[in-house]
Amino acid sequence: MTVGQLKRLLIGSPLRTRQLAHEKLLKWKALAIFSSDALSSVAYATEEILLVLAVIGVGAFSYSIPIAIGILILLLVVTLSYRQIVHNFPSGGGAYIVAKEHLNTASSLVAGAALMIDYVLTVAVSISSGVAALLSAFPALIPWKVEIGVLLVLVLMILNLRGIRESATVFAYPTYLFIVSILLMVSAGGFQIWREGWHGYASPAAGELGDIASWTAVLLILRAFASGCSALTGVEAISNGVPAFRSPAPRNAAITMAWMSLLLGTMFFGITILASAFGIGPKEHETVVSQIAEHVFGRGPLYYLIQVATMLILFLAANTSFTGFPQLSSIIAQDGFLPRPLAMRGDRLVFSNGIILLSVLAILLIIGFGGDTHALIPLYAVGVFLSFTIAQWGMVKVFLGQPQRKFLQMGITAFGTLITGLVTLITIVSKFTEGAWMVALAIPLLVWIFYTIRSHYTEIAKELRLDLRAQPTKLKTKVIIPISGISKLVLQSISYAQSISDDIVVVTVGFDDEQAAKIRDKWEQWDLDIPLIILRSPYRTLLGPLLKYIDTLEKEKEAEFLTVVVPQFVVKKWWHTLLHNQTALLLRTVLINRKDVVVSTIPFHLHH
């Protein structure tokens, strides 16, 4: 099987450009493919709140509900802001585009860098947490933790390379299974509370209030709020991928975002209520969702259904990044701040290079951190809340610039800017020593890389800019044909050389006098009116003497260009390549960096 056949087997046949419209997503598929990251966060957001509150004491667990209400208000504000972004910026790009058009280039690049880093972390964290859930059920696989994580990233990469519509169909079923199972658990748990009453955490007694109100406790409650805000990661993905929706794209994207936020808020708040009502707290080897499911359903089929659905959604949460990252990187690449290949669509009308780059970076993170979710989580969420803040500040500028001021919307967005900015600061400060410093360092480093790439493209454009009054002139070239023997391949190369120049010289490298004499005798018998130069090589190297001869000709400057015509035969089977030396390849590699030296390969196709 050839490489091309393997590629077709894995990702399918190429699609025509006009088929792009058919690859656009319906709302129910878009909800699955863009929302898996945000929806999956309900599996751990409540637990993140309780883990921080546990430092204060069990009495502080009752504060999880006010904290959850605060997060719901923030979710509403962010959703309203991003719905405005979807309508005002239908080309996608989210925070990056908003900042570019209404703030400044530096802000847009910070937003782009923050989002790209967060997308990579989303893949690494989601896959690692999904693997951790799998290993809890099958401890024998623990030694293969990293390998399993890498394999899962590769599977997601292949599915996404097949095309956005195909991947959306695959991912829709686990996403909706998770939604239905969690809503069923919340509904059944709510009925149980109504029937049996509240028997969990109560508000702290008056004596405890003084301790909880201490400055340390207040800071911990703020940190619990910031940790719970992990429920909002992935909310921005729809605004980055508006072009992937069926027409009218902005309207469909806005509706999908509303449904995503409604489902996210309902599931998150429901889980928080049930945890508080049933007196459930964090355990070392069992998640909060698992404890709630066991309390509501016991260890029956519905319990295992929820566990399986949770594990699947954690795996598939990574897929949001496989949609958002390539789309965002393509927009940044179109502006010249990332390599241009990232802006190109592949065979299946997806941004293949972006998908592959994301996979490679996520795999490096998984390997570098040993697939440890707890080591990766402190790096998480900093980038996305920084992008939230920049995007909303940009929308405030949009509202300020409109003739008819929308004071309510502007006020909501300004409030969201303030809160997400505070969450960003709290997250960085509270998790700085645990690893957030790496993200704080990586964002400006990536912005520097953006500027470096843009500077490179700008300099090249200046150097290549053509004055249209200039006219081409005919240049003189001297042709050098390096040969190892006299054959049909040499005849073909000379025929080509004669079509571009009358100044031709054939060069061979002789290791000893006997070999050199044989080639000279055969050349004289051929009787061509072309000189043969035999270079001596006492150390049996080919490139050294040849390069020294080219250096000599360059210094003599008998012609404006030197053209090195490299004869090379092409074998029929790939493994035949291993049976021959690669002198032609080495020569091309060395000479490509020479100024005023043109390298031309003349292929001779063998039939055997």
All domains of the chain, ordered by start, with CATH? 3-457 (1.20.1740.10), 477-605 (3.40.50)
The residue among 20 and 446 whose pLDDT is bigger is 446
C-alpha to C-alpha distances, 114 to 76, 330, 380, 384, 421, nearest whole angstrom: 22, 15, 11, 6, 14
In angstroms, the CA 228 to CA 21 distance is 38
Beta bridge partners of 116: none
Lowest mean pLDDT among 26-40, 105-119, 142-156, 201-215: 201-215
Question: Number of helices (H) and strands (E), helices first, in the chain?
Answer: 24, 5
Question: What mean pLDDT is predicted for residues 274-283?
Answer: 79
CA separation for the pair 228, 222 (Å, rounded): 10
**Residues 123/321, Cβ–Cβ less than 8 Å:** yes
What would the mean pLDDT of 217-235 be, rounded to a whole number? 74
Percent above pLDDT 90 for the chain = 1
Sheet holding 561-570, edge to edge: 532-536, 504-510, 477-483, 561-570, 597-605
The whole-number average pLDDT for the span 331-358 is: 78
Ordered DSSP codes for 32-92: HHHHHHHHHGGGTHHHHHHHHHHHH-GGGGGGHHHHHHHHHHHHHHHHHHHHHHHHH-TTS
Q: Is the peptide bond before 545 cis (omega within 30 degrees of 0)?
A: no
Whether residue 390 is predicted with pLDDT greater than 50 in this model: the reply is: yes
Provide the sign of the torsion angle of the four alpha carbons 307, 75, 379, 222, taken in this order. negative
Check: CB of residue 480 under 8 Å from CB of residue 550.
yes
Digit-coded pLDDT (tens) for 242-252: 767 777 777 88
pTM: 0.72
- Under the banding of pLDDT at 50, 70 and 90, the label for residue 580 is low
Task: Give the ranges where 288-406 is alpha helix by DSSP (H).
Answer: 288-297, 301-316, 318-334, 352-368, 373-376, 382-401
Q: At what angle do helices 249-277 and 64-88 cross, to 10 degrees?
A: 180
Residue 390 has which token pair?
């920049």
pLDDT at 74 over 80: yes
- Torsion sign, CA atoms 174, 177, 182, 183: positive
76-89 per-position pLDDT tens digit: 888 887 777 777 77
> Which range is least confidently modeled, 9-18, 35-44, 47-56, 419-428?
9-18
Across-strand partners of 478? 562
Least confident interval from 36-50, 337-351, 512-526: 337-351
The residue with tokens 């997601």 is 156
Vertex 589 angle, CA 485 and 598, to 5° = 75
Average pLDDT over residues 226-232: 75
Per-residue confidence (pLDDT) for residue 209, from 0 to 100: 43
Lowest mean pLDDT among 100-114, 210-224, 330-344, 512-526: 210-224
Query: Has residue 521 got a pLDDT over 90?
Result: no
CA–CA separation, 364 and 347 (whole Å): 26
- Residue at token pair 């998790």: 431
Handedness of CA 120, 122, 125, 127 (dihedral sign): negative
Q: Which of 347-356, 440-449, 564-573 is predicted most confidently?
A: 440-449
Q: What is the DSSP track for 476-494?
A: -EEEEEEESS-SHHHHHHH
Highest mean pLDDT among 216-225, 257-266, 431-440 belongs to 257-266
More confident residue, 325 or 169: 325
CA distance 599 to 601: 7
How many Cβ atoms from other residues are within 10 Å of residue 184's Cβ? Answer: 16
CA–CA separation, 423 and 328 (whole Å): 24
Would you state the pLDDT for residue 445?
92
CA quadruple 81, 82, 84, 86: dihedral, nearest 10: 180
Nearest to 393 by CA among 373, 377, 413, 379: 413
Mean pLDDT of 512-516: 77
Does 44 or 275 have the greater pLDDT score? 275
CA–CA dist 280, 292 (Å, integer) = 7
What mean pLDDT is reported for the chain? 77
| pLDDT band per the 50, 70, 90 thresholds, residue 448 | very high
DSSP letters spanning 423-451: HHHHHHHHTIIIIIHHHHHHHHHHHHHHH
Coil, helix or strand for 151? helix
More confident residue, 304 or 17: 304
Whole-number pLDDT of residue 17: 40
Q: How confident is the model at residue 425 (pLDDT cuts 50, 70, 90)?
A: confident
Residue 536 has pLDDT above 90, yes or no: no
- Does the pLDDT of residue 205 top 60, yes or no? no
Q: What is the mean pLDDT of residues 200-212?
A: 52
